[in-house]
């Protein structure tokens, strides 16, 4: 899977054409537009750029969780023989993931509300869920900074030739 943000439709089409020419067996299917679904994230950008900032230099993307209509939400039931800490850990991790993926607080709250309801349907008690949800509060900016630090640490010894263009940039 490839997700790319490019400054113009012409450049996007050129990028797809170039990849398709690499090998006869490559046939990239693509969508070009102001909205895109990539894996479990729906991205969108405003129809009009910020007039104060050149559009090519800055694009404000919004993101939200995307869940496929066929998803059955078969979470670990509380009657499972997993270690007791597993239940709180997976719930907290899912809320953390929602916090990272949702740039809008209303989208985040809607995801958490749906998640809570789905866990109730799987047999979790509201009392238990309220306790776990209360402790699973995350600050999105701090999480994004943590992700950036981890990426920088992971690639700190990687030499990047600054004269060569980097083919894809994911902007969050």
pLDDT, one tens digit per residue, over 32-52 is: 788 888 899 998 886 665 555
Distance of CA 144 to the CA centre of its chain: 11
Q: Whole-prediction pTM value?
A: 0.75
| pLDDT given for residue 80 in this prediction | 95
30 — pLDDT class (breaks 50, 70, 90): confident
| pLDDT given for residue 41 in this prediction | 93
Q: Residue 132 in contact with residue 91, Cβ under 8 Å?
A: yes
157 compared with 52, residue with greater pLDDT: 157
Which residues, other chains included, contact 148 with Cβ-Cβ below 8 Å and sequence gap of 6+?
none
Report the C-alpha gap between 77 and 80 in whole angstroms. 6
Report the C-alpha gap between 46 and 60 in whole angstroms. 7
CA distances in angstroms from 47 to 33, 60, 64, 128, listed in the order given = 10, 11, 17, 43
CA distances in angstroms from 52 to 44, 55, 59, 99, 170, listed in the order given = 20, 9, 12, 29, 23
pLDDT per residue as tens digits for the range 71-102? 999 999 999 999 999 999 999 999 999 999 99
Going by their DSSP bridges, the two strands 62-65 and 41-44 should be labelled as antiparallel
Going by their DSSP bridges, the two strands 35-38 and 62-65 should be labelled as unpaired
128 compared with 146, residue with greater pLDDT: 128
Q: Residue 145 in contact with residue 99, Cβ under 8 Å?
A: no
Which residues, other chains included, contact 159 with Cβ-Cβ below 8 Å and sequence gap of 6+?
none
């Amino acid at each position: 899977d490839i997700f790319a943000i490019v400054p113009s439709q012409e450049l996007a089409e050129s990028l797809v054409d170039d990849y398709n020419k690499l090998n006869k067996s490559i046939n990239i299917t693509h969508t070009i537009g102001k909205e895109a679904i990539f894996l479990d994230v729906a991205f969108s950008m405003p129809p009009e750029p910020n007039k104060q900032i050149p559009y090519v230099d800055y694009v404000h993307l919004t993101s939200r969780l995307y869940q496929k209509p066929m998803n059955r939400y078969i979470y670990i039931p509380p009657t499972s023989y997993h270690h007791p800490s597993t239940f709180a850990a997976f719930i907290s991790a899912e809320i953390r993931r929602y916090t990272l993926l949702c740039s809008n607080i209303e989208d985040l709250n809607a995801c958490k509300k749906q998640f809570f309801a789905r866990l109730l349907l799987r047999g979790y008690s509201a009392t238990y869920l309220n306790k776990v949800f209360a402790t699973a509060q995350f600050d999105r900016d701090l999480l994004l900074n943590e992700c950036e630090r981890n990426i920088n640490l992971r690639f700190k010894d990687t030499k990047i030739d600054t004269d060569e263009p980097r083919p894809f940039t994911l902007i969050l």
